[in-house]
Amino acid sequence: MSEIDTGVAAAEAEASPVGKIMLVGIGPGSVEHMTQRARDAIAEADVVVGYVTYIKLVADLLDGKEVVRKGMTEELDRAVHALEAARAGKKVALISSGDAGVYGMAGPTYEVLFQAGWTPDDPVQLEIVPGASALNACAALVGAPLTHDFCAISLSDLLTPWPVIARRLDAVAYADFVVALYNPKSGRRTRQIVEAQRLFLRHRRPDTPVAIVKSAYRRRQHIEFTTLDKMTDSDIGMLSTVLIGNSSTFVRDGLMVTPRGYANKYDVEQGFETRDGEKAGRSLSTGLLGWLETLQAQHTEGHTVADLARLHRLPVEYIAATLAEPVEVGAVAAVGEAEGEG
Amino acid sequence: MSEIDTGVAAAEAEASPVGKIMLVGIGPGSVEHMTQRARDAIAEADVVVGYVTYIKLVADLLDGKEVVRKGMTEELDRAVHALEAARAGKKVALISSGDAGVYGMAGPTYEVLFQAGWTPDDPVQLEIVPGASALNACAALVGAPLTHDFCAISLSDLLTPWPVIARRLDAVAYADFVVALYNPKSGRRTRQIVEAQRLFLRHRRPDTPVAIVKSAYRRRQHIEFTTLDKMTDSDIGMLSTVLIGNSSTFVRDGLMVTPRGYANKYDVEQGFETRDGEKAGRSLSTGLLGWLETLQAQHTEGHTVADLARLHRLPVEYIAATLAEPVEVGAVAAVGEAEGEG
């Protein structure tokens, strides 16, 4: 609390009695990739609290503000500080790089607020300002790696037991997700990325494309393409995000792209004509209803549930449950619709 | 091509001979949550191409521009159109809601460009402008659900076979990720969400918190909290994102929060004191090195590799491989460092 002058706080409280905490995701780090709301929130703030590196990224926006620079592991402390300043009537911008909700300050702040008895009816109001996360920023720089299902996993074991992390790595490597690894490595924490590689290599090809992006959209931005079997030889640090492709991801002309699946429906080499048995704007013939029909047919032909589970690489109980809820034959022909975006 | 006046294109090409495609993520949909770069890219564009709903969201920015509105399933067509206009010397903003890289236009555009023989050395330049994806926007509105490892899965089977989707749902339900379901349901595509629920209930508690966010930051924004066992009763559509918590996620006072793991290290109820055996800023005692020591000790005590695999819910081969690379006893005490953000 040493940096808060409570006299000033009291004076400001008269003019603006209601304090507010704004959890601001500043995006990757360059001001032009911040949202207007993020800029406005910082402009509105009396106090700006954040990790010292992130404070530097918004230095141009801090004239005349009280600035509280905290160390990297002091998330709870930052949240406590913000709450105390807001209770004193100040507007506080608590900044996170990327998105405040993704390994950012939103979680610890709610934990601290709830512990302090705060509720949404409290005079201290709370706003979360979303931003582009590191995975969005890194993806934009390397091509289009996240075009299909993806996940984010932090390799930091400061708050998460390793078996939880390892189980997640194993599951998503098996299920062929594109994966963004946050906090992949640090000076002292070097074996986690080796273990991640080990788990991935059980399920994925050694030449699976990997991009390592350091300081995306910042001055020291650095991008390296490598492959799963070699990724631990690369320069990886605390400011790196590691993007591991799925089994379809390719690198061409220095761009990492994960196909969305158009090749399942269209003949990509022949003017994007629809393939036999597929319809534009409709579910694939191997989509849910088509697949359920196939499953019924295979079951009728004498395949056991256990056979089908092995064949389709899905749990026995799931196969049994779906077979128990039959789909009308011919339903697939009547069904179709459109695809959204993200 | 009917909407492009090639005479105008040729005239503009003289003044600005180099065409450009800008893949712009406009964020959730309100102009204040767009980045400055996204606004500038649209301002710079001669032509703006996008799905009709997204064009409406940026209507205020389109004065004097050629606007090409496309249907929802016409992603490839949008990309072809953009390339043709760029080849004619125009600057084209190809807009996606959220982030252009997340189920957005970045992937299909690269597929079309590569097919057309485009390379990064082409006169037509390409820029991807990242934005806050639907999952970031929805998370910001409901609390802090994404504070721990998460993944995004599209339930649309228009381009992805159902067994691939089902395998992913099963894997991440097992491995306790927070999950954002994109394209969860449509008028015709109604059983996918039922199947997703079925797969999740194999691994997760029926009362796992679920938030359904429709039209985040748009005029018809609607948020509903429910639980895994009841989520299929809710109003879910093509403009909804479904957020399913992990086993620690809770809802309190109308806010959905996933703890980051502070309770593993600190006594959250007692002023955030460090727990016995844990150190601030250091890996958990159950972090990688601590866990490896435990594993070695259990193995020495006579547990077989198969026992240990069952005990830690990890693959036998992984346990065997890590045991084969011993960690120095006491190494854990010397190691620790800091946590990044996203």
Q: What is the pLDDT of residues B256-308, one digit of tens each?
A: 999 988 888 888 777 778 888 898 888 999 999 999 999 999 999 999 999 99
Q: Say if residue B273 is in the same domain as residue B242.
A: no
Are A25 and B199 inside 8 Å of each other by CB? no
Quote the CA–CA distance of B20 and B147 in Å, as a whole number. Answer: 37
- Count of pairs with CB atoms under 8 A, one residue in A, one in B: 482
Q: B101 vs A132, A139, A141, B237, CA distance in Å?
A: 11, 7, 10, 22
Closest residue in A to B237 (Cα) is: A340
Q: Say if residue B274 is in the same domain as residue B334.
A: yes
| pLDDT exceeds 60 at position B218 | yes
Closest to A258 measured CA to CA, from B74, B107, B115, B159: B107
Q: Say if residue B14 is in the same domain as residue B112.
A: yes
Q: Taking residues B10-38, what's their average pLDDT?
A: 82
- Mutation pick from B213, B256, B339 vs chain A, by most beta carbons of A within 10 Å, is B339
Burial B170-179 (b: 16+ CB within 10 A, else e): bbbbbbbbbb
Are A339 and B145 inside 8 Å of each other by CB? no
Q: Say if residue B146 is in the same domain as residue B160.
A: yes
Quote the CA–CA distance of B102 and B166 in Å, as a whole number. Answer: 20
Q: Are strands B240-244 and B273-274 parallel, antiparallel or unpaired?
A: unpaired
Of A34, A268, A286, the CB nearest to B115: A268
Q: Are strands A143-144 and A178-182 parallel, antiparallel or unpaired?
A: unpaired
How far B111 CA lies from chain A's nearest CA (Å)?
7
Query: Average pLDDT per run of 10 along chain A, which is 342 residues long?
Result: 42 63 95 95 96 92 94 83 95 96 94 94 96 96 97 96 97 98 94 97 98 95 98 95 97 95 82 85 92 95 97 96 78 47 52
Joined tokens for residue A141:
């720089």
Q: Say if residue A109 is in the same domain as residue A204.
A: no
CATH number, domain containing residue B143: 3.30.950.10
How far B315 CA lies from chain A's nearest CA (Å)?
8
Q: Which amino acid is at B123?
A: P
Q: Say if residue B26 is in the same domain as residue B140.
A: no
Which of B3-7, B136-140, B175-179, B237-241 has the least mean pLDDT? B3-7
Closest residue in A to B272 (Cα) is: A76
Quote the CA–CA distance of A38 and A22 in Å, as a whole number. Answer: 9
Q: Are A206 and A173 in contact (CB under 8 A)?
A: no
Q: Are B242 and B212 in contact (CB under 8 A)?
A: yes
Question: Which of A82, A110, A132 is the endpoint of a domain?
Answer: A132
Closest residue in B to A36 (Cα) is: B32
Q: Are strands A178-182 and A150-154 parallel, antiparallel or unpaired?
A: parallel
- Total count of domains within chain A: 3
Are A176 and B191 inside 8 Å of each other by CB? no
Question: Which of B78, B104, B132 is the endpoint of a domain?
Answer: B132
Quote the CA–CA distance of A49 and A60 in Å, as a whole number. Answer: 15
Q: Say if residue B225 is in the same domain as residue B143.
A: yes
* Helical spans, DSSP H, in A75-205: 75-87, 106-115, 134-142, 162-174, 191-201
- Secondary structure of residue A341 in the 3-state scheme: coil
How far B12 CA lies from chain A's nearest CA (Å)?
27
Q: Say if residue B166 is in the same domain as residue B102.
A: no
Quote the CA–CA distance of B283 and B45 in Å, as a whole number. Answer: 49
Of B132, B147, B172, the CB nearest to A131: B132
| Contact residues, chain B, for A198 at CB < 8 Å | 318, 321-322
Q: Are B138 and A106 in contact (CB under 8 A)?
A: no
Tell me the residue length of chain B.
Answer: 342
pLDDT band at B1 (very low <50, low <70, confident <90, very high): very low
Q: Say if residue B316 is in the same domain as residue B327.
A: yes
Q: Are strands A240-244 and A209-214 parallel, antiparallel or unpaired?
A: antiparallel
Q: What is the pLDDT of residues B103-120, one digit of tens each?
A: 989 999 999 999 999 999
Closest residue in A to B50 (Cα) is: A341
Are B99 and A132 inside 8 Å of each other by CB? yes
Q: Say if residue B192 is in the same domain as residue B216.
A: yes
Of A163, A264, A265, the CB nearest to B314: A163
How far A158 CA lies from chain B's nearest CA (Å)?
4
- For residue A191, give every residue at least 6 positions away whose Cβ sits within 8 Å of its Cβ, in sequence order, or none: B288, B289, B327
| pLDDT exceeds 90 at position B96 | yes
- Mutation pick from A118, A136, A189 vs chain B, by most beta carbons of B within 10 Å, is A136
Neighbouring CB atoms inside 10 A of B1's CB total 9
How far B108 CA lies from chain A's nearest CA (Å)?
7
Q: Are A258 and A146 in contact (CB under 8 A)?
A: yes
pTM: 0.91
Are B340 and A239 inside 8 Å of each other by CB? yes
How far B166 CA lies from chain A's nearest CA (Å)?
8
Most confident of A261-270, B221-230, B278-287, B323-332: B221-230
* Helical spans, DSSP H, in A143-207: 162-174, 191-201
Question: Which of B232, B257, B282 is the endpoint of a domain?
Answer: B257
Joined tokens for residue A247:
């089994």
| pLDDT exceeds 50 at position B191 | yes
Q: B315 vs A167, B148, B293, CA distance in Å?
A: 9, 23, 18
CATH number, domain containing residue A120: 3.40.1010.10
Q: B214 vs A147, A156, B28, B142, B290, CA distance in Å?
A: 22, 33, 11, 12, 43
pLDDT band at B328 (very low <50, low <70, confident <90, very high): low
DSSP codes joined into one string, B58-119: TGGG-TTSEEEEE-TT-HHHHHHHHHHHHHTT-EEEEEESB-TTSSSSHHHHHHHHHHTT--
How far B155 CA lies from chain A's nearest CA (Å)?
10
Of A28, A145, A342, the CB nearest to B182: A342
Bigger pLDDT: B93 or A1?
Answer: B93
Q: Which range marks the domain in which residue B270 is found?
A: 264-338
Q: Say if residue A18 is in the same domain as residue A63.
A: yes
Quote the CA–CA distance of B254 and A114 in Å, as a whole number. Answer: 12
Q: Are A147 and B111 in contact (CB under 8 A)?
A: no
Quote the CA–CA distance of A271 and A274 in Å, as a whole number. Answer: 9
Q: Say if residue A192 is in the same domain as residue A116.
A: no
Burial B201-217 (b: 16+ CB within 10 A, else e): eebbeeebbbbbbbbbb
Are B337 and A189 inside 8 Å of each other by CB? yes
Quote the CA–CA distance of B131 and B33 in Å, as a whole number. Answer: 9
B59 DSSP 8-state letter? G
Residue with the two structure tokens 């109980």: A317
Q: Are B191 and A328 in contact (CB under 8 A)?
A: no
- Mutation pick from A115, A167, A255, A341 vs chain B, by most beta carbons of B within 10 Å, is A341
